[in-house]
Amino acid sequence: MVSTRFAPSPTGLLHIGGARTALFNYLYAKRNGGRFLLRFEDTDRERSSSLFEEAILSDLQWLGIVPDEKASRQTERGARYAEVLERIRANGFAYPCFCPHGEDPNPRRAQADVCRFLPQEERLRKIASEEPFCVRFAVPRGCSRISFHDRLRGELSVKISSIEDFVLLRSDGSPTYLFAVVADDHDFNVTHVIRGEEHLPNTPKQELIYRALGWEAPEWTHIPMVLDSQRHKLSKRSGAISVASYREDGWTSEALVSYMATLSWAGAPADRLSDAAALAERFDIGDVSLDSPAHDPQRMSHFGKMAMRKLDPDALLREYEALFPQPESHGWDLDSDRAALISELIPGCACKKEIETAIREVFIFPPSPEEVEPADKAWLDELGRELASVAPEEWNSRDLKNTLKDFQKKRELKGKTVYHALRIKLTGTGHGIPIALFMGCLGKKKALERLDAADGL
Protein backbone atom coordinates (compact mmCIF):
# COMPACT_ATOMS: atom_id res chain seq x y z
CA MET A 1 0.00 0.00 0.00
CA VAL A 2 1.27 3.45 -0.91
CA SER A 3 2.16 5.50 2.18
CA THR A 4 3.41 9.05 2.18
CA ARG A 5 4.13 11.41 5.02
CA PHE A 6 4.57 15.04 5.87
CA ALA A 7 7.30 15.54 8.46
CA PRO A 8 7.44 19.11 9.74
CA SER A 9 9.48 20.29 12.70
CA PRO A 10 7.04 21.88 15.13
CA THR A 11 9.19 24.98 15.49
CA GLY A 12 6.83 27.43 13.81
CA LEU A 13 3.53 27.80 12.03
CA LEU A 14 2.69 26.13 8.74
CA HIS A 15 3.52 28.30 5.72
CA ILE A 16 2.56 28.05 2.07
CA GLY A 17 5.77 26.15 1.12
CA GLY A 18 5.31 23.47 3.80
CA ALA A 19 1.58 23.21 3.24
CA ARG A 20 2.19 22.62 -0.46
CA THR A 21 4.61 19.75 0.38
CA ALA A 22 1.92 18.28 2.64
CA LEU A 23 -0.66 18.71 -0.12
CA PHE A 24 1.43 16.87 -2.74
CA ASN A 25 2.02 13.99 -0.29
CA TYR A 26 -1.69 13.83 0.45
CA LEU A 27 -2.66 13.98 -3.23
CA TYR A 28 -0.21 11.26 -4.18
CA ALA A 29 -1.37 8.95 -1.40
CA LYS A 30 -5.07 9.46 -2.13
CA ARG A 31 -4.64 9.18 -5.89
CA ASN A 32 -3.10 5.77 -5.28
CA GLY A 33 -5.56 4.59 -2.64
CA GLY A 34 -2.93 4.92 0.06
CA ARG A 35 -2.33 6.50 3.46
CA PHE A 36 -1.06 9.93 4.32
CA LEU A 37 0.84 10.22 7.61
CA LEU A 38 1.98 13.10 9.76
CA ARG A 39 5.19 12.98 11.78
CA PHE A 40 6.52 15.71 14.02
CA GLU A 41 10.29 15.93 13.82
CA ASP A 42 10.66 17.40 17.26
CA THR A 43 14.20 16.42 18.21
CA ASP A 44 15.16 20.08 18.56
CA ARG A 45 13.61 20.23 22.00
CA GLU A 46 14.36 23.87 22.60
CA ARG A 47 12.60 25.16 19.55
CA SER A 48 9.83 22.56 19.29
CA SER A 49 6.53 23.19 20.96
CA SER A 50 3.30 21.29 21.33
CA LEU A 51 1.49 24.53 20.53
CA PHE A 52 3.03 24.50 17.05
CA GLU A 53 2.08 20.83 16.68
CA GLU A 54 -1.53 21.65 17.46
CA ALA A 55 -1.50 24.63 15.13
CA ILE A 56 0.02 22.63 12.24
CA LEU A 57 -2.47 19.80 12.68
CA SER A 58 -5.39 22.18 12.88
CA ASP A 59 -4.26 24.04 9.73
CA LEU A 60 -3.83 20.78 7.84
CA GLN A 61 -7.29 19.63 8.86
CA TRP A 62 -8.75 22.95 7.83
CA LEU A 63 -7.07 22.57 4.43
CA GLY A 64 -8.61 19.12 4.07
CA ILE A 65 -5.16 17.49 4.18
CA VAL A 66 -6.17 15.10 6.90
CA PRO A 67 -3.69 12.48 8.16
CA ASP A 68 -5.00 8.92 8.22
CA GLU A 69 -3.42 8.12 11.56
CA LYS A 70 -2.51 9.85 14.78
CA ALA A 71 0.66 11.90 14.30
CA SER A 72 3.92 10.33 15.50
CA ARG A 73 6.66 12.19 17.33
CA GLN A 74 10.37 11.51 17.11
CA THR A 75 10.95 12.28 20.79
CA GLU A 76 8.75 9.30 21.68
CA ARG A 77 10.87 6.83 19.73
CA GLY A 78 14.20 6.98 21.56
CA ALA A 79 14.20 3.27 22.46
CA ARG A 80 13.56 2.29 18.85
CA TYR A 81 16.37 4.53 17.57
CA ALA A 82 18.75 2.82 20.01
CA GLU A 83 17.74 -0.57 18.60
CA VAL A 84 18.23 0.54 15.00
CA LEU A 85 21.54 2.14 15.84
CA GLU A 86 22.68 -1.11 17.41
CA ARG A 87 21.80 -2.90 14.21
CA ILE A 88 23.85 -0.45 12.15
CA ARG A 89 26.74 -0.90 14.55
CA ALA A 90 26.44 -4.69 14.49
CA ASN A 91 26.55 -4.55 10.68
CA GLY A 92 29.82 -2.62 10.96
CA PHE A 93 28.56 0.82 9.87
CA ALA A 94 28.73 2.88 13.06
CA TYR A 95 31.45 3.86 15.52
CA PRO A 96 31.76 6.14 18.52
CA CYS A 97 33.72 9.30 17.88
CA PHE A 98 35.49 10.88 20.89
CA CYS A 99 37.30 13.60 18.98
CA PRO A 100 37.32 17.19 20.17
CA HIS A 101 35.84 18.16 16.80
CA GLY A 102 32.82 16.49 18.35
CA GLU A 103 29.78 16.66 16.18
CA ASP A 104 31.28 18.50 13.27
CA PRO A 105 29.04 17.26 10.44
CA ASN A 106 31.93 17.34 7.99
CA PRO A 107 35.09 16.35 9.81
CA ARG A 108 38.23 15.90 7.82
CA ARG A 109 38.63 12.25 7.02
CA ALA A 110 42.02 11.89 8.71
CA GLN A 111 40.53 13.30 11.86
CA ALA A 112 37.48 11.03 11.89
CA ASP A 113 39.63 8.03 11.00
CA VAL A 114 41.40 8.25 14.36
CA CYS A 115 38.14 7.17 16.00
CA ARG A 116 36.94 4.98 13.15
CA PHE A 117 40.01 2.79 13.45
CA LEU A 118 40.53 3.07 17.20
CA PRO A 119 41.48 -0.30 18.68
CA GLN A 120 38.49 -1.90 20.37
CA GLU A 121 40.20 -1.97 23.79
CA GLU A 122 40.87 1.74 23.64
CA ARG A 123 37.30 2.36 22.61
CA LEU A 124 35.93 0.35 25.54
CA ARG A 125 38.26 2.10 27.94
CA LYS A 126 37.07 5.52 26.81
CA ILE A 127 33.44 4.50 27.10
CA ALA A 128 34.02 3.04 30.57
CA SER A 129 35.64 6.26 31.71
CA GLU A 130 32.58 8.16 30.44
CA GLU A 131 34.33 10.20 27.80
CA PRO A 132 31.66 11.96 25.76
CA PHE A 133 31.17 10.67 22.23
CA CYS A 134 28.84 10.92 19.30
CA VAL A 135 28.13 8.02 16.94
CA ARG A 136 29.18 8.37 13.33
CA PHE A 137 28.21 6.43 10.24
CA ALA A 138 31.15 4.59 8.72
CA VAL A 139 30.80 5.52 5.06
CA PRO A 140 31.93 2.48 3.03
CA ARG A 141 35.27 2.93 1.31
CA GLY A 142 35.14 0.06 -1.15
CA CYS A 143 32.86 1.56 -3.82
CA SER A 144 33.21 4.78 -5.72
CA ARG A 145 29.66 6.07 -6.17
CA ILE A 146 26.25 5.77 -4.57
CA SER A 147 23.27 6.12 -6.86
CA PHE A 148 19.57 6.48 -6.28
CA HIS A 149 16.48 7.18 -8.31
CA ASP A 150 14.50 10.41 -8.07
CA ARG A 151 11.04 10.29 -9.62
CA LEU A 152 11.44 13.67 -11.33
CA ARG A 153 15.17 13.61 -12.08
CA GLY A 154 15.82 9.97 -12.90
CA GLU A 155 19.03 8.26 -11.83
CA LEU A 156 21.37 10.38 -9.69
CA SER A 157 24.72 9.44 -8.32
CA VAL A 158 27.25 10.95 -5.95
CA LYS A 159 30.92 10.20 -5.36
CA ILE A 160 31.20 8.36 -2.07
CA SER A 161 34.48 10.11 -1.32
CA SER A 162 32.52 13.38 -1.11
CA ILE A 163 30.50 12.03 1.84
CA GLU A 164 32.17 12.32 5.23
CA ASP A 165 31.38 10.09 8.18
CA PHE A 166 28.24 11.91 9.29
CA VAL A 167 26.76 11.84 12.80
CA LEU A 168 23.90 9.43 13.62
CA LEU A 169 23.64 10.09 17.34
CA ARG A 170 24.70 13.27 19.12
CA SER A 171 26.71 13.15 22.33
CA ASP A 172 23.57 14.12 24.27
CA GLY A 173 21.99 10.88 23.04
CA SER A 174 19.61 12.51 20.54
CA PRO A 175 19.39 11.10 17.01
CA THR A 176 20.22 13.32 14.06
CA TYR A 177 17.62 14.13 11.45
CA LEU A 178 19.45 12.02 8.84
CA PHE A 179 19.20 8.90 10.95
CA ALA A 180 15.80 9.28 12.64
CA VAL A 181 14.03 9.85 9.31
CA VAL A 182 15.27 6.51 7.98
CA ALA A 183 14.15 4.60 11.07
CA ASP A 184 10.78 6.36 11.02
CA ASP A 185 10.05 5.98 7.34
CA HIS A 186 10.95 2.30 7.51
CA ASP A 187 8.92 1.58 10.64
CA PHE A 188 5.85 3.38 9.36
CA ASN A 189 6.10 1.62 5.99
CA VAL A 190 6.50 4.87 4.09
CA THR A 191 6.79 3.86 0.45
CA HIS A 192 7.13 7.31 -1.14
CA VAL A 193 9.05 10.28 0.22
CA ILE A 194 7.96 13.53 -1.40
CA ARG A 195 9.90 16.47 0.00
CA GLY A 196 11.58 19.73 -0.88
CA GLU A 197 14.63 19.58 -3.10
CA GLU A 198 16.69 21.18 -0.33
CA HIS A 199 16.83 17.63 1.06
CA LEU A 200 18.51 16.22 -2.08
CA PRO A 201 22.01 16.29 -0.49
CA ASN A 202 20.65 14.17 2.39
CA THR A 203 19.34 11.43 0.15
CA PRO A 204 22.62 9.64 -0.67
CA LYS A 205 23.42 9.57 3.05
CA GLN A 206 20.00 8.16 3.86
CA GLU A 207 20.41 5.62 1.07
CA LEU A 208 23.65 4.52 2.71
CA ILE A 209 21.86 4.06 6.02
CA TYR A 210 19.12 1.98 4.36
CA ARG A 211 21.73 -0.22 2.76
CA ALA A 212 23.68 -0.60 5.98
CA LEU A 213 20.48 -1.86 7.59
CA GLY A 214 19.56 -4.12 4.68
CA TRP A 215 16.31 -2.21 4.26
CA GLU A 216 14.61 -1.13 1.08
CA ALA A 217 14.63 2.64 0.55
CA PRO A 218 11.40 4.46 -0.39
CA GLU A 219 10.85 6.04 -3.78
CA TRP A 220 12.27 9.58 -3.68
CA THR A 221 10.62 12.62 -5.20
CA HIS A 222 12.23 15.99 -4.56
CA ILE A 223 9.92 18.81 -5.48
CA PRO A 224 11.20 22.29 -6.36
CA MET A 225 11.19 24.94 -3.68
CA VAL A 226 8.66 27.74 -3.74
CA LEU A 227 10.52 31.02 -4.27
CA ASP A 228 9.66 34.61 -3.48
CA SER A 229 9.56 37.39 -6.07
CA GLN A 230 13.35 37.86 -5.69
CA ARG A 231 13.74 34.12 -6.48
CA HIS A 232 14.94 33.31 -2.97
CA LYS A 233 13.46 30.50 -0.96
CA LEU A 234 10.09 31.68 0.30
CA SER A 235 10.56 32.46 3.96
CA LYS A 236 8.83 34.38 6.67
CA ARG A 237 11.08 37.32 5.98
CA SER A 238 10.30 37.34 2.27
CA GLY A 239 6.59 37.52 2.91
CA ALA A 240 5.53 33.90 3.43
CA ILE A 241 2.43 34.20 5.47
CA SER A 242 1.29 31.40 7.72
CA VAL A 243 -1.76 29.37 6.81
CA ALA A 244 -3.13 30.38 10.21
CA SER A 245 -3.11 34.05 9.35
CA TYR A 246 -4.72 33.47 5.95
CA ARG A 247 -7.39 31.59 7.87
CA GLU A 248 -7.78 34.42 10.30
CA ASP A 249 -8.18 36.85 7.42
CA GLY A 250 -11.05 34.78 6.10
CA TRP A 251 -9.50 33.09 3.08
CA THR A 252 -11.26 29.85 2.23
CA SER A 253 -9.38 26.58 2.39
CA GLU A 254 -10.45 25.81 -1.18
CA ALA A 255 -8.81 29.00 -2.44
CA LEU A 256 -5.56 28.18 -0.66
CA VAL A 257 -5.50 24.55 -1.73
CA SER A 258 -6.36 25.41 -5.35
CA TYR A 259 -3.56 27.97 -5.39
CA MET A 260 -0.96 25.72 -3.75
CA ALA A 261 -1.73 22.96 -6.24
CA THR A 262 -0.60 25.28 -9.05
CA LEU A 263 2.85 25.66 -7.48
CA SER A 264 4.73 23.19 -9.75
CA TRP A 265 1.87 20.92 -10.74
CA ALA A 266 1.22 21.70 -14.39
CA GLY A 267 -2.11 19.82 -14.36
CA ALA A 268 -3.66 21.84 -11.54
CA PRO A 269 -6.91 23.56 -12.56
CA ALA A 270 -6.14 27.26 -13.06
CA ASP A 271 -9.64 28.63 -13.37
CA ARG A 272 -11.74 26.83 -10.87
CA LEU A 273 -11.75 26.08 -7.20
CA SER A 274 -11.12 22.54 -6.02
CA ASP A 275 -10.71 20.97 -2.64
CA ALA A 276 -7.95 18.51 -1.78
CA ALA A 277 -10.20 15.48 -2.34
CA ALA A 278 -11.18 16.65 -5.84
CA LEU A 279 -7.56 17.42 -6.76
CA ALA A 280 -6.52 13.95 -5.60
CA GLU A 281 -8.69 12.40 -8.31
CA ARG A 282 -6.52 13.89 -11.04
CA PHE A 283 -3.11 14.33 -9.42
CA ASP A 284 -0.20 12.99 -11.43
CA ILE A 285 3.21 13.38 -9.89
CA GLY A 286 4.74 13.01 -13.33
CA ASP A 287 3.20 16.41 -14.16
CA VAL A 288 5.24 18.15 -11.48
CA SER A 289 7.68 20.47 -13.15
CA LEU A 290 11.29 20.86 -12.07
CA ASP A 291 11.21 24.65 -12.41
CA SER A 292 11.00 26.42 -9.09
CA PRO A 293 7.68 28.24 -8.90
CA ALA A 294 7.51 31.76 -7.51
CA HIS A 295 4.86 32.55 -4.93
CA ASP A 296 2.39 34.66 -6.87
CA PRO A 297 0.11 36.73 -4.63
CA GLN A 298 -1.88 37.84 -7.67
CA ARG A 299 -2.69 34.28 -8.71
CA MET A 300 -3.52 33.51 -5.12
CA SER A 301 -5.90 36.48 -5.08
CA HIS A 302 -7.50 35.21 -8.25
CA PHE A 303 -8.50 32.01 -6.40
CA GLY A 304 -9.46 34.02 -3.32
CA LYS A 305 -11.80 36.17 -5.39
CA MET A 306 -13.42 33.11 -6.95
CA ALA A 307 -14.09 31.84 -3.44
CA MET A 308 -15.53 35.15 -2.22
CA ARG A 309 -17.98 35.21 -5.13
CA LYS A 310 -19.49 32.04 -3.75
CA LEU A 311 -20.38 33.71 -0.44
CA ASP A 312 -23.91 34.84 0.29
CA PRO A 313 -24.13 38.68 0.57
CA ASP A 314 -27.07 38.41 2.99
CA ALA A 315 -25.03 36.24 5.34
CA LEU A 316 -22.11 38.67 5.05
CA LEU A 317 -24.47 41.52 5.84
CA ARG A 318 -25.53 39.83 9.08
CA GLU A 319 -21.86 39.56 9.99
CA TYR A 320 -20.84 43.10 9.05
CA GLU A 321 -24.00 45.07 9.75
CA ALA A 322 -22.31 47.10 12.46
CA LEU A 323 -19.84 48.52 9.91
CA PHE A 324 -22.57 50.37 8.06
CA PRO A 325 -23.63 53.85 9.09
CA GLN A 326 -26.91 53.79 10.98
CA PRO A 327 -29.14 56.04 8.88
CA GLU A 328 -31.61 58.09 10.90
CA SER A 329 -34.39 57.34 8.45
CA HIS A 330 -34.72 53.92 6.90
CA GLY A 331 -35.78 53.54 3.31
CA TRP A 332 -38.20 50.83 2.28
CA ASP A 333 -35.52 48.13 2.06
CA LEU A 334 -32.27 49.17 3.65
CA ASP A 335 -31.04 45.61 4.00
CA SER A 336 -31.33 44.85 0.34
CA ASP A 337 -29.33 48.01 -0.49
CA ARG A 338 -26.66 47.00 1.99
CA ALA A 339 -26.51 43.47 0.64
CA ALA A 340 -26.33 44.92 -2.88
CA LEU A 341 -23.41 47.10 -1.79
CA ILE A 342 -21.63 44.04 -0.41
CA SER A 343 -22.22 42.29 -3.74
CA GLU A 344 -20.59 45.25 -5.47
CA LEU A 345 -17.53 44.95 -3.25
CA ILE A 346 -17.10 41.17 -3.36
CA PRO A 347 -15.46 40.87 -6.82
CA GLY A 348 -12.54 43.04 -5.68
CA CYS A 349 -11.86 41.01 -2.54
CA ALA A 350 -9.84 37.82 -2.03
CA CYS A 351 -10.79 37.19 1.59
CA LYS A 352 -13.35 38.26 4.15
CA LYS A 353 -10.98 40.68 5.81
CA GLU A 354 -10.73 42.54 2.50
CA ILE A 355 -14.53 42.68 2.32
CA GLU A 356 -14.64 44.06 5.82
CA THR A 357 -12.00 46.68 5.01
CA ALA A 358 -13.76 47.58 1.78
CA ILE A 359 -17.04 48.19 3.64
CA ARG A 360 -15.26 50.39 6.17
CA GLU A 361 -13.51 52.32 3.42
CA VAL A 362 -16.72 52.98 1.51
CA PHE A 363 -17.98 55.20 4.28
CA ILE A 364 -14.75 56.95 5.20
CA PHE A 365 -14.77 60.44 3.82
CA PRO A 366 -11.17 61.27 2.80
CA PRO A 367 -9.70 64.19 4.72
CA SER A 368 -8.86 66.09 1.53
CA PRO A 369 -11.53 65.30 -1.03
CA GLU A 370 -11.10 66.05 -4.71
CA GLU A 371 -12.69 69.31 -5.78
CA VAL A 372 -15.73 69.36 -8.06
CA GLU A 373 -15.54 71.54 -11.14
CA PRO A 374 -16.79 75.12 -10.45
CA ALA A 375 -19.17 74.73 -13.39
CA ASP A 376 -20.92 71.88 -11.61
CA LYS A 377 -21.39 73.75 -8.38
CA ALA A 378 -24.53 75.56 -9.42
CA TRP A 379 -26.61 72.53 -10.31
CA LEU A 380 -25.18 70.57 -7.35
CA ASP A 381 -26.85 73.03 -4.98
CA GLU A 382 -30.10 72.51 -6.77
CA LEU A 383 -29.70 68.73 -6.69
CA GLY A 384 -28.96 68.99 -2.96
CA ARG A 385 -32.27 70.73 -2.46
CA GLU A 386 -34.12 68.11 -4.48
CA LEU A 387 -32.53 65.30 -2.54
CA ALA A 388 -33.46 67.05 0.68
CA SER A 389 -37.08 66.77 -0.31
CA VAL A 390 -36.94 63.01 -0.95
CA ALA A 391 -39.30 61.26 1.44
CA PRO A 392 -37.55 58.99 4.00
CA GLU A 393 -39.22 55.87 2.60
CA GLU A 394 -37.89 56.74 -0.85
CA TRP A 395 -34.31 57.04 0.36
CA ASN A 396 -33.14 53.81 -1.26
CA SER A 397 -31.03 52.99 -4.26
CA ARG A 398 -33.91 52.28 -6.63
CA ASP A 399 -35.83 55.51 -5.97
CA LEU A 400 -32.67 57.62 -5.70
CA LYS A 401 -31.55 56.37 -9.09
CA ASN A 402 -34.83 57.60 -10.57
CA THR A 403 -34.50 60.94 -8.80
CA LEU A 404 -31.02 61.39 -10.26
CA LYS A 405 -32.17 60.37 -13.72
CA ASP A 406 -35.10 62.81 -13.64
CA PHE A 407 -32.83 65.61 -12.47
CA GLN A 408 -30.27 64.92 -15.16
CA LYS A 409 -32.95 64.99 -17.87
CA LYS A 410 -34.57 68.13 -16.51
CA ARG A 411 -31.26 70.01 -16.43
CA GLU A 412 -30.13 68.44 -19.73
CA LEU A 413 -26.92 67.20 -18.16
CA LYS A 414 -24.95 64.15 -19.16
CA GLY A 415 -25.44 61.21 -16.75
CA LYS A 416 -21.70 60.87 -16.41
CA THR A 417 -21.35 64.53 -15.38
CA VAL A 418 -23.97 64.26 -12.67
CA TYR A 419 -22.76 60.98 -11.23
CA HIS A 420 -19.11 62.01 -11.27
CA ALA A 421 -19.58 65.36 -9.53
CA LEU A 422 -21.99 63.86 -7.04
CA ARG A 423 -19.60 61.05 -6.28
CA ILE A 424 -16.75 63.44 -5.58
CA LYS A 425 -18.94 65.50 -3.30
CA LEU A 426 -20.20 62.44 -1.44
CA THR A 427 -17.19 60.15 -1.31
CA GLY A 428 -14.23 62.43 -2.00
CA THR A 429 -13.08 60.36 -4.99
CA GLY A 430 -14.07 59.93 -8.60
CA HIS A 431 -14.67 56.17 -8.55
CA GLY A 432 -16.35 53.56 -6.42
CA ILE A 433 -19.59 51.69 -6.05
CA PRO A 434 -22.79 52.95 -7.77
CA ILE A 435 -23.62 56.28 -6.22
CA ALA A 436 -27.34 55.71 -5.64
CA LEU A 437 -26.51 52.53 -3.78
CA PHE A 438 -23.93 54.38 -1.74
CA MET A 439 -26.43 57.10 -0.86
CA GLY A 440 -29.06 54.55 0.11
CA CYS A 441 -26.67 52.91 2.56
CA LEU A 442 -25.16 56.13 3.86
CA GLY A 443 -28.51 57.58 4.85
CA LYS A 444 -30.15 60.84 4.03
CA LYS A 445 -28.77 62.99 6.83
CA LYS A 446 -25.12 62.11 6.22
CA ALA A 447 -25.52 62.38 2.45
CA LEU A 448 -26.97 65.88 2.73
CA GLU A 449 -24.25 66.92 5.16
CA ARG A 450 -21.64 65.89 2.65
CA LEU A 451 -23.47 67.83 -0.05
CA ASP A 452 -23.52 70.89 2.24
CA ALA A 453 -27.30 70.71 1.98
CA ALA A 454 -27.99 69.60 5.51
CA ASP A 455 -30.08 72.67 6.30
CA GLY A 456 -32.58 71.37 3.75
CA LEU A 457 -33.46 68.55 6.12
Measured from the CB atom, is 24 or 259 closer to ligand GLU? 24
Compute the C-alpha angle 235/239/244, nearest 5°. 85
Pick 7 or 424: Cβ nearer ligand GLU: 7
Min CB(181)–ligand GLU separation in Å = 5
Spell out, one character per residue from 186 to 205, where the chain touches ligand GLU: x when CB under 6 A holds, - when not: ---------x---x------
Residue 63 phi/psi, 5° resolution?
-75, -10
Cα gap 316→384, rounded to integer Å: 32
- Contact with ligand GLU (CB under 6 A): which of 8, 10, 218, 250? 8
Beta-carbon-side half-sphere exposure of residue 274 (alpha carbons within 13 Å): 21
The answer to whether the CB of 77 falls within 8 A of the CB of 184 is yes
Q: Which residue is nearest to ligand GLU (CB)?
A: 195
Q: Decide: is 7 part of the binding site for ligand GLU (CB under 6 A).
A: yes
The answer to whether the CB of 101 falls within 8 A of the CB of 107 is yes
Helix (H/G/I), strand (E/B), else coil: 96: strand
Alpha-carbon separation of residue 21 from 177, 186, 257, 263, 429 (angstroms): 18, 20, 11, 10, 45
Using CB under 6 A, which residues numbered 366 to 395 contact ligand GLU?
A: none
- Tell me the closest approach of the beta carbon of residue 146 to ligand GLU, in angstroms: 17
Q: Contact region for ligand GLU (CB under 6 A) — 5-13, 112-120, 142-150, 292-300?
A: 5-13
- Rounded CA-CA distance 259/270 in Å is 8
241 contacts 305 by C-beta, under 8 angstroms: no
How near is the Cβ of 100 to ligand GLU at its closest, in Å?
Answer: 29
Q: Scanning residues 22 to 51, which ones bind ligand GLU (CB under 6 A)?
A: 41
Query: What is the smallest separation between the CB atom of 184 and ligand GLU, expressed in angstroms?
Result: 9
H/E/C letters for each residue in 127-159?
HHCCCCCEEEECCCCCCCEEEEEECCCEEEEEE
Q: Is 443 in the site for ligand GLU (CB under 6 A)?
A: no
In 228-286, where does DSSP find H-type helix? 243-248, 253-261, 276-280
Strand partners, 221: 194
Phi, psi of 340 (to 5 degrees): -65, -40
Question: What is the x/- site pattern for ligand GLU, positions 49-78, by CB under 6 A?
Answer: ------------------------------
Site size for ligand GLU (CB under 6 A): 7
Among 94, 118, 146, 181, binds ligand GLU (CB under 6 A): 181
Least distance in angstroms from the C-beta of 235 to ligand GLU: 13
Cβ proximity to ligand GLU: between 221 and 403 the closer is 221
Out of 3, 9, 176, 221, the only residue in the binding site for ligand GLU (CB under 6 A) is 9
Report in angstroms the alpha-carbon separations of 163 from 107, 215, 309: 10, 20, 54
Kindly state the smallest distance separating residue 308's Cβ from ligand GLU, in Å.
32
The residues of the shown chain that bind ligand GLU, judged by CB under 6 A, are 7-9, 41, 181, 195, 199
